[in-house]
Structure 1
């Protein structure tokens, strides 16, 4: 088989393939003969259909199949012989002129690029650190207590205050007209927790049971109710009931109710600290990993294979439509998502994937089985039955592949941080928790 490789531009290549016509015809005959043994056709017993009838009915599709298979095999062999790393599928077209007894094809395709990694020692990367303070433990304890609070009715002489649960009737009008969602009876909410718009909370705060109050309320321009967003309404609210919140004491009973093995206050605080430290570790890893990846992209030179970018764009659009579908959006699978919207992110993902792959290959940063096991154990540790969670991960190759990907990224981050100019920066627990991701 004669193979010629031509560089068209950057990553695009062309291979000319030649196949003997006789090889094609022999394979077509072989497949038709095999098909004739089992094919069922009206008027003939199974296995007794004449060959010319089988060829007439199935000849075209079998010939198409054989051509696809043989050209595919020839392309793979030629690419292997030329030691080419092919990106995506080749575009194959038959040449108009071929030597006698031969069929010739042009296969146009892209190859993966050479990745030039810059001097990592010159890269400056900010590495964040954070600690779990007593204040963070106290704040988490307060959240746990609020989740377990009970309510008791307040005396008729007492007014509604922050933390109370109130039951109200209300009716709102815009330009004197009622609007959808603007009226409710025996509606409950907690004062001071942002469940209602500020003007509504301000009006109810300080009211007593049986009182009514009118007040203006301006809906924000970005309010979820599109019909009233940006408009002003007049409301009347009547207070039916006020219940004061009672938070459980921080004691052994609370620790026991939370399923803490060491059911003491010290055991409870220790358990909270351990869980917060795990969360801090994961968040810091994610933030520092993102800084490393930014530095890698900035320090690398490479051309992007369009086939890989297009494939990533397809995956991202499919993912976006699946997300819309999960939210109950009608016809989500047909939602128009322009390629140019996701192209920059797709290009970044492909670029980063190629750079990381080269770094992993060149420095043997693959995930080791013991690293994967340790990461799975860490993920499972916060659950009530860690061993079951570990089995859940190991029972699915896709889940395990995701863990492997994270471990590889961690290996890459550690490798790069060991070489780069690192600027350490300590941030508070609250700052870390406020950051996305």
Structure 2
């Protein structure tokens, strides 16, 4: 096999490969002979069809199959010989495919870039510390009660925080506009669901009251034709309801899986969940700082093939989240590459840098850390042991956890060398900030 390689531009390589005709022809002959044993053709017994007839009938198809296999095998033998690592699949351009002549083709592909690691001691990271306090637990229980609240109709004027049921008709210059009218719509006053001034204008009204609101749409309103428009809303209040929070009793606790132990056990479980959320938020915040710093100090060339593959992965993930696989539409028009370009480039760049750190420092996956992560994932299920076993029986699932564990080990490796400043904070600040990022 003859091989030559050249750099065309940046990460792109052009590989020319020649394979002796005898190698291809002998493999074609071998497969035809194997096929002849089972071929049935009228006028001939099974296995007795002359090779000339077999070749006439099946020769072209078998040759195409052999050419595909030979190109695939010879390409990977060639890149091993030239000591290059392809990033993505090659583009194959045939040069000589004729029978009886040496096979020749050109493979164009990108290679992984070389990554020179920087000085990790110059990286600065703030590591936050916080505890879940009794006040934090009280606040969380209030939030949970809010989520389980009901509405009770009352005979009084509406206040901020009440829910009103209304009919309304919106007009612009005396003409109704699209989306400006509704009947029997529930609206929580103070929720910010409507344009500025709408909800404030209903405070103080009772069931049966009517009021006309003269308002102006915001300049940044989503419907371009209504931006900055002066409008009127004629509103009729059908009912006023106030929020009722559930009592802290066994029925309430049962909704969150606490059947025994009453309030002390409920608070204990709420605190445990909050502690787990806090731990994950601190870990994520620290990790994000490390990853951002790695991207600041390393600017690897990005193979287009890897970025394109990552874009497609992100697009499919979004499709799965929204159930779009059952829809009939042009996916790339609805979710264009540009929508995922930045995230894809970040992920590819980090993958290259982290991979080089793992390779250069010979970091191996810590089996104990993997086990700990699997057990933590399983702890939120009713039968944790069964979930743990499921992970260890599913190679794909376990591999995803191993990858996450290895990435965490890289973060720890960087933190050991970086300038780390510990800073005290609170549950609310850390968790809220993390959710907003």
Q: Does the 8 Å CA contact 1:160/1:208 hold for their aligned counterparts?
A: yes
Change (3 A) 1:131 1:322: same
| Offset, 1:272 | 1.6
Q: Does 1:25 align with 2:25?
A: yes
3-state SS, counterpart of residue 33 of structure 1: helix
Q: Does the 8 Å CA contact 1:289/1:409 hold for their aligned counterparts?
A: no
TM-score (norm 1): 0.84
Change (3 A) 1:217 1:360: same
Listed one character per residue, the Cα deviations across residues 35-71 of structure 1 (whole Å, up to 9, x for unaligned) are 3444466787765655434433432232222122123
Q: Give, in whole Å, the separation in 1 of the partners of 2:111 and 2:407.
A: 24
Q: Does 1:189 align with 2:187?
A: yes
3-state SS, counterpart of residue 335 of structure 1: helix
User: In structure 1, what is the equivalent of residue 214 of structure 2?
Assistant: 216
Please list, as runs of the form range in 1=range in 2, the aligned pairs for 1:31-430 lying within 5 A after superposition: 31-39=31-39, 50-94=50-94, 102-154=102-154, 156=155, 158-223=156-221, 228=226, 230-250=228-248, 254-260=252-258, 263-300=261-298, 302-319=300-317, 326=324, 331-335=329-333, 339=337, 342-387=340-385, 389-390=387-388, 393-394=391-392, 396-430=394-428
| Offset, 1:250 | 3.9
| Offset, 1:204 | 1.9
Task: Tell me whether 320-329 or 271-280 shows the greater mean CA deviation.
Answer: 320-329
Q: Give, in whole Å, the separation in 1 of the partners of 2:107 and 2:35.
A: 30
Q: Give, in whole Å, the separation in 2 of the partners of 1:415 and 1:50.
A: 68
Change (3 A) 1:323 1:329: farther
Structure 1 spans left out of the alignment, 5+ residues = none
Q: Give, in whole Å, the separation in 1 of the partners of 2:393 and 2:178.
A: 49
Listed one character per residue, the Cα deviations across residues 191-216 of structure 1 (whole Å, up to 9, x for unaligned) are 33334444222122111222211112
| Offset, 1:139 | 2.3
3-state SS, counterpart of residue 182 of structure 1: strand
2:429 pairs with 428, 431, 437, which one?
Answer: 431
Change (3 A) 1:189 1:396: farther
Structure 2 spans left out of the alignment, 5+ residues = none
Q: Does the 8 Å CA contact 2:2/2:19 hold for their aligned counterparts?
A: no
The alignment covers a number of residue pairs equal to: 434
Q: Does the 8 Å CA contact 2:250/2:259 hold for their aligned counterparts?
A: no
| Offset, 1:256 | 4.8
Task: Tell me whether 224-233 or 116-125 shows the greater mean CA deviation.
Answer: 224-233
Q: Does the 8 Å CA contact 1:117/1:301 hold for their aligned counterparts?
A: no
Q: Does the 8 Å CA contact 1:149/1:248 hold for their aligned counterparts?
A: yes
| Offset, 1:406 | 1.9
Listed one character per residue, the Cα deviations across residues 87-129 of structure 1 (whole Å, up to 9, x for unaligned) are 223344455699x974444444433233211111122223334
Q: CA RMSD in A?
A: 3.5
Change (3 A) 1:195 1:18: closer
| Offset, 1:292 | 0.8
3-state SS, counterpart of residue 257 of structure 2: coil
Listed one character per residue, the Cα deviations across residues 274-333 of structure 1 (whole Å, up to 9, x for unaligned) are 111211211222221111112222333644334333433444455566667629875142
Change (3 A) 1:150 1:293: closer
Q: Give, in whole Å, the separation in 1 of the partners of 2:191 and 2:348.
A: 43
3-state SS, counterpart of residue 367 of structure 1: coil
Q: Does the 8 Å CA contact 2:96/2:102 hold for their aligned counterparts?
A: no
| Offset, 1:135 | 3.7
